[in-house]
Amino acid sequence: MLKAVLFDLDGTLLDTAGDMGAAANHVITGLGLNALPDEVLACTTSDGSYALLRAGIPPALIERHGLEQLRDRMLGFYRMNLCHHTQPYAGVPELLSWLNGNDIPWGVVTNKPKALTEPLLADLPLFSRCGITVSADTLPRKKPHPAPLLHAAAHLGVAADHCVYVGDHRRDIEAGLAAGMRTLAAGWGYISAGEDPRQWQSHGVMESVSALTHWLKTVFPGRC
């Protein structure tokens, strides 16, 4: 029986591609290159800052400037512009409100660094009742290692096999399965080019937040 819900963040609860993309393009155009188009951002954001930079900068330029230095420049811009375009996906406020109204514990497990995750969520009132936030650097290991998910479940006081984890990346499903959790792929998220969520061996693929909400209402009986 499920007792708690854990979510990935970028591409699952929040559409952060606009702000992440602006930060990547700040660096990319600063090198005299063309900005990444929206369609590239949509299938790359979930892979993180390194992937965004590699998508727009040729290897020779990356070697010349240093990938870590470019990433520091990108994240510095992003830190100053965290929530200009970011918004919850349609249906997310209603989903979180339903969880809160039914006293169902929920939390966030993300590979976003703590220095970015915490101020971003602090800007968004719908996360005020988030029971636990585990970031990329909260623990020594991050997803796809199961440790962040197990840590979140323990903090919520719920056994791992009584949790469901929802994410839009293969590593989310791998981490959830390794932790012994039920897993659901967020089909509305930042699915990388060439990826098919139906091949990730999750327990299901949800095509929309409303479909996820409906599914949760069927597995948490007695909740209205």
Are residue 61 and residue 115 in the same domain, yes or no? no
Q: Which residues of the chain have pLDDT under 70?
A: 222-224
| 196 has catalytic annotation | no
Q: Are residue 115 and residue 161 in the same domain, yes or no?
A: yes
- Are 169 and 185 in contact, with CB atoms under 8 Å apart? no
Query: Taking a C-beta distance cutoff of 8 angstroms, is the pair 36, 44 a contact?
Result: yes
| Per-residue pLDDT tens over the stretch 55-93 | 999 999 999 999 999 999 999 999 999 999 999 999 999
Do 92 and 59 fall into the same domain?
no
The reply to whether 8 and 108 lie within a common domain is yes
DSSP secondary structure, 106-171, as one string: EEEE-SS-HHHHHHHHHT-GGGTT-S-EE-TTTSS--TTSSHHHHHHHHHHT--GGGEEEEESSHH
Choose the catalytic residue: 8, 19, 168, 172. Answer: 8
C-alpha closest to that of 58 among 28, 38, 78: 28
Residue 193 has a pLDDT of: 77
Token couple for 160: 């791992």
Q: Among 80, 98, 128, give the residue marking a domain's end.
A: 80
Statement to judge: residues 100 and 193 lie in one domain:
yes
Residue 168 CA: distances (Å) to CA of 8, 35, 122, 212: 7, 24, 23, 13
Tell me: do 72 and 141 sit in the same domain: no
**Same domain flag for 8 and 25:** no
Do 47 and 105 fall within a single domain?
A: no
Quote the DSSP letter at residue 198: G
Do 150 and 64 share a domain, yes or no?
Answer: no
Note down the domain range covering 200. 4-15+87-219
Flag whether 224 is in a domain: no
Report the domain count for the chain.
Answer: 2
Looking at residue 128, which CATH number applies to its domain?
3.40.50.1000
Q: Which two tokens stand for residue 72?
A: 């520091």
Are residues 108 and 28 located together in one domain of the fold? no
Query: Is residue 214 a part of any domain in this protein?
Result: yes
